[in-house]
Amino acid sequence: MIDLHGKRAIVTGAASGIGRATAALLAELGAAVVLADRDTDRGEQAAKETGGAFVRCDVSQRADCERVVRTAVDLHGGVDVLFNNAGIIRRSTVCDIRDDDWDLVMAVNVRSIMLLSGLVVPLMAANGGGSIVNTGSGWGIRGGGRAVSYCASKGAVVNMTRAMAIDHGPDNIRVNCVCPGDTGMLAEEARQLGESPDAFYADAADRPLGRIGQPRDIAQTVAFLASDAATFVSGAIIAVDGAGTA
């Protein structure tokens, strides 16, 4: 049902977690993949494993995003799938967050989508369409404690997805959002808050399906949205969270 042969994809945040799993699955299903991340060592290893091409990229910087898209065009002739997955979290309240942390979270989680999508949409439109998938969060649908910048950024991603789907639907560009049930950065969150990682993992597993989501769980949803099996799915906000938000 899902066949991505002939598709040309860009995956950001591809050196680890959801991005790495998605790059691997898209390649497994036949897509030509360009992997983008700031982590050169792990990014190059992921590219080697998938047979894709790696580009070191700070997704908050236009020049880096331009280099990623240029690589996809030079190697594969265009872009059919863009997975805006790169993300960062800083745990704090509105009272104690630092200005530079707020700006960083917004730059990586929100500005990056604007930059890369703005570069890719004209290519997709000229080629007859494409699929953009943004990584939101369960905290983009409902609030979460001590994560004000992250919640704000992921709420923005959710509504950006809807706006982009409206704007670019006439060019046959589908835009959707996957909302994982946990960030995939639980150990780092525990460190930021000075709490036990074990408690974070136990809390993340406290959902009807009784387990923490795995990167491949999200990757499979992204692959569906990237494929021709989802040709009438656009503007959707899909919680992939074991019924956590339910």
Per-residue pLDDT 10s for the chain (246 aa) are 799 999 999 999 999 999 999 999 999 999 999 999 999 999 999 999 999 999 999 999 999 999 999 999 999 999 999 999 999 999 999 999 999 999 999 999 999 999 999 999 999 999 999 999 999 999 999 998 899 999 999 999 999 999 999 999 999 999 999 999 875 676 776 677 777 777 767 778 889 999 988 999 999 999 999 999 999 999 999 999 999 999
Domain range summary for the chain, segments of one domain joined by +: 8-238
201 flagged as catalytic: no
Active-site pick, 83, 139, 150, 200:
150
Among 3.40.640.10, 1.10.260.40, 3.40.50.720, 2.40.128.20, name the CATH number for the domain at 8-238.
3.40.50.720
pLDDT, residue 230, reads 98
Spell out the SS3 assignment of the chain: CCCCCCCEEEEECCCCHHHHHHHHHHHHCCCEEEEEECCHHHHHHHHHHHCCEEEECCCCCHHHHHHHHHHHHHHHCCCCEEEECCCCCCCCCCCCCCHHHHHHHHHHHHHHHHHHHHHHHHHHHHCCCEEEEEECCHHHCCCCCCCHHHHHHHHHHHHHHHHHHHHHHHHCEEEEEEEECCCCCHHHHHHHHCCCHHHHHHHHCCCCCCCCCCHHHHHHHHHHHHCHHHCCCCCCEEEECCCCCC
pLDDT at 1: 77
